[in-house]
Chain A
């Protein structure tokens, strides 16, 4: 069974950047895309974006311009880079492996979740 292994927790300074990795291991990867969501302490989830393994990305408007999500399909790895960090970015960041259930632009679902990576932002 494929599991998604994320990189470890980090402490970052305000204004800096963070790059979190997510590696699929334990089997053949057949995802259609990787998604990234985050959850601030005690809060709900926030959808950040998705990288499609056929090419292209989608980003939530709130992150547009300071987020980049990439993937190496052959290696089964996805990366999420978030720039210009503030204290509001302190959260657990989750990656997810998605599959398609149809041909429309919304026909994706999360098949596998990573365990999460906690990013702390503090001066």
Chain B
């Protein structure tokens, strides 16, 4: 099972960027319960989004999760310098088993 993300993306400060998460075997739907995590260097991950679109506690509303076509997406609206880090998606593939995407390095 291969889950792919853009290896790197860039966005201007204040701009909007969409990161995507794709499943090689087929479309991602709401039943994959996609999650999104943020990681800055040397730190543990931080949960941003779960169940495709639900923001975790304390996450700014500039982060939003959705489905776009066959993919899950994380949109950052009004990007800030502190958003420059790595982002990972995770999807549920059944039988209690989850798979991470390869991660996206975002440059602001």
Contacts and interface: CB of A to CB of B under 8 A. Distances in A.
Nearest to A92: B44
A111 B51 CA distance: 13
Contact of B92 (A44, A61, A106, A113): A106
B31 A109 contact: no
Interface string B65-108: 00000000000000000000000101010111111111100000
Give chain B's interface residue range (CB within 8 Å of chain A): 20 to 34
B33 interface: yes
A7 to B, nearest CB: 15
Contacts of A110: 35, 37, 45, 47, 50
Given A45-B45, A94-B45, A106 B100 contact: no
Contacts, number: 65
B99 A47 contact: yes
Contacts of A46: 100
Contacts of A101: 50-51, 54
Contacts of B44: 94, 113-116
Which of A101, A107, A109 lies at the interface centre, i.e. has the most chain B CB atoms within 10 A of its CB? A109
B46 interface: yes
11 contacts: A44-B88, A45-B37, A50-B96, A58-B95, A58-B97, A101-B50, A109-B35, A109-B47, A109-B54, A109-B56, A110-B50
Interface of A: 37, 44-47, 50, 58, 60-61, 94, 101-102, 105-111, 113-116
Given A109-B35, A110-B35, 18 more contacts: A37-B100, A44-B101, A45-B37, A45-B88, A45-B103, A46-B100, A47-B90, A47-B97, A47-B99, A50-B96, A50-B98, A58-B97, A60-B98, A94-B45, A102-B51, A111-B57, A113-B46, A116-B44
